[in-house]
Each structure stands twice: as structure tokens, then as C-alpha cells.
Chain A
Amino acid sequence: MNMTKIVRTTADLFYPFCLVFGLYVVLHGHLTPGGGFQGGAVMATGAALLLVSRRYEDITRSLRQNTMKLCEAVGLLMFITAGLAGLFAGGAFLYNGLAGAGGLFGEPVAFGANPGGLNTAGLIPLLNIAVGIEVLGGLTVILLYMLSGVKETEP
């Protein structure tokens, strides 16, 4: 069902901020508190705002169930692929061969308390992004499943 205009306007206003904050938590997972799971949950909260305020038929035009399922599967596959890449490159599952080697996310880090840079930590940002995509897809698809299961009743 459609909620009132107040709820819809507030949800439209706030969901971009939720998405951006979640993306920040995911991408800065190796520098600030948070990580893939927390950031994905915050992004899914932004999607939940939209879902609760609109009718199911209206929302599925822009937020498709198949896209979210794809997100979930791609996230988990990305995690496993990163782990297997470590297995073949360094001899251990999830071996962090990119750390300190230069190139993508390969800047070395000085010991001690320092702010650090975004281009550090090797495999960890990639795993953060993978888990973030997976959690966003998984939690949103749970909400979509539940919305598709309930009968629409006008209040």
C-alpha cells in the first residue's frame, strides 16, 4: 500500500544519504570503524525506506528482485574468487598477497598511529566490497520476498 505523502517525501529525501553513508562505511572499512557487513546493512536500510513507503508494484519497477539476487550471488562469488586467487598466488586461502606490493591497494603502511591512506591493505578492501554487495542484495531480497508474500490491504 502507499503510505501518506509525508512518509513518501521523507523516504525520498533520506534514502540517498543512507546509500552514500553505507558506501562510505564499506569503502573505508580498512581505515575507520565498520566494514562490509555494517555498510551493507546501512545501504539495505536505505532500500527498506523506499520499500516500506511505496506500493509493491511501483517499487519493483526500479528495484528488481532479480538484480538484488544477482548482487547477492556476485558478492559471495567475488569473496570466494578472491580467496582462491590468494590460494594460487601465495599458497594459502585468502592469502593477502596484494598488501605492500604496490599497485592496486598496495601501499605499505607505517607502524604506529597514523591516519593511513585509502590505497592500502591489499585484499581487505576487495573483500569488504564483496561482503557489502552481498549483504545489500541479501537483506533487500528478504524484504522483497516478504513484500511479495503479503496481501495488499488498503487501510
Chain B
Amino acid sequence: MRTALFTAILLILLAGFLQVAVGLPFGKPARTDMDDYFLAHAQDQAAANNVVTSVVFDFRGFDTLGEATVLFTAVLGVGMMFRKLKPGEEYEHD
């Protein structure tokens, strides 16, 4: 009984999501001002033929610095978890 109810709710949700998703246009954003600007100026301002890289590393380079910092911080966190043990010390297990 509960499984049937759960399945019915799941199917209704799936139908709702699909109905919305089918109506959306794929690959056609509503506003394209910045896209047109990047496509027009990536080659003379950044001199890169790959427009994606020119956006990631030049026009939005500060974001990439943040991403690199996030990776660095993540490695620091893992290093603190698996730090070098003092002699005689052991990792704590349950």
C-alpha cells in the first residue's frame, strides 16, 4: 500500500518535471549579449582560438584563481586528516 502510494507520487513528480523539461528550448538562452561579446572579442583581445579557455582564464580569470585556491584548501584538509603520527600514536578507530 505504502509502496504503491510512493510510486504514484514519484510518477506524478516525474511527469511534472518531464512536462516542464520538454517545453524548454535546448541551447537557446534568453539573453545572449555577453555571449555575442565574447565570441566577437575573444580572438582580438585574448588571442585565443578556444573561446571557452579565453573566458575561463582571461575574462573570468579571478574565478579560476578561486577554484585553484579551493583545491589547495581541500588538499590541506585531507593532509590534516592523514597527518604524520607522533611515535607511539595511532589513528583512532571505533
Tell me whether B88 is interfacial, beta carbon within 8 Å: no
| CB neighbours of B52 from chain A (8 A) | 33, 35
In the complex the two chains form, what is the Cα distance from A68 to B65 in whole Å?
A: 20
Flag if B65 contacts A80 (CB, 8 Å). Answer: yes
Residues of B participating in the A interface, judged by any CB pair closer than 8 Å: 43-50, 52-54, 56-58, 61-62, 64-65, 67-69, 71-72, 74-75, 78-79, 81-82, 91
Please tell me which one of the listed residues B43, B49, B75 contacts residue A31 in the complex, with CB atoms under 8 A apart: B49
- From residue 72 to 93 of chain A, which have CB atoms closer than 8 A to chain B? 72, 75-76, 79-80, 83, 93
Chain A residues numbered 7-33 whose CB sits less than 8 Å from any CB in chain B: 29-33
Min distance, Cβ A39 to any Cβ of chain B, angstroms: 11
Of the candidates B49, B53, B67, B81, which one forms a contact with A128 in the assembled complex, judged by CB atoms under 8 Å apart?
B53
Identify the closest chain A residue to B91 (Cβ).
Answer: A149
- Residues of B close to A93: CB separation below 8 A: 61-62
Q: Give residues in A with beta carbon < 8 Å to B.
A: 29-33, 35-37, 72, 75-76, 79-80, 83, 93-94, 96, 99-100, 106-112, 114-116, 120-124, 127-128, 131, 134-135, 138, 141-142, 145-146, 148-149
Q: Are A79 and B68 in contact (CB under 8 A)?
A: yes
Determine the chain B residues whose CB is within 8 A of the CB of A135 once the complex forms: 71
Smallest beta-carbon distance A75→chain B, Å: 7
Interface of chain B, main secondary structure: helix
- Are the C-beta atoms of A121 and B78 separated by less than 8 Å? no
- Contact B68 A131, beta carbon cutoff 8 Å: yes
Given the known inter-chain contacts A72-B75, A109-B43, A149-B82, please indicate yes or no for A134 contacting B68, CB distance below 8 A.
yes
A99–B62 CB distance below 8 A: no
Residues B50 and A30 in contact, CB atoms below 8 Å apart: yes
Within 8 Å by CB of B48, from A76, A109, A111, A114, lies A109
**Interface pair B78/A79, CB less than 8 Å apart:** no
Residues of B within 8 A of A112 (CB): 43
Expressed in whole angstroms, the Cα–Cα distance for A110 and B48 within the complex equals 10
> Whose C-beta in chain A lies nearest to the C-beta of B75?
A138
CB pair A138 B71 closer than 8 Å: yes
Contact for A72 among B48, B49, B72, CB less than 8 A: B72
A83 to B82, CA, bound (A): 32
How far is A27 from B59 in the complex, measured between Cα atoms in Å?
19
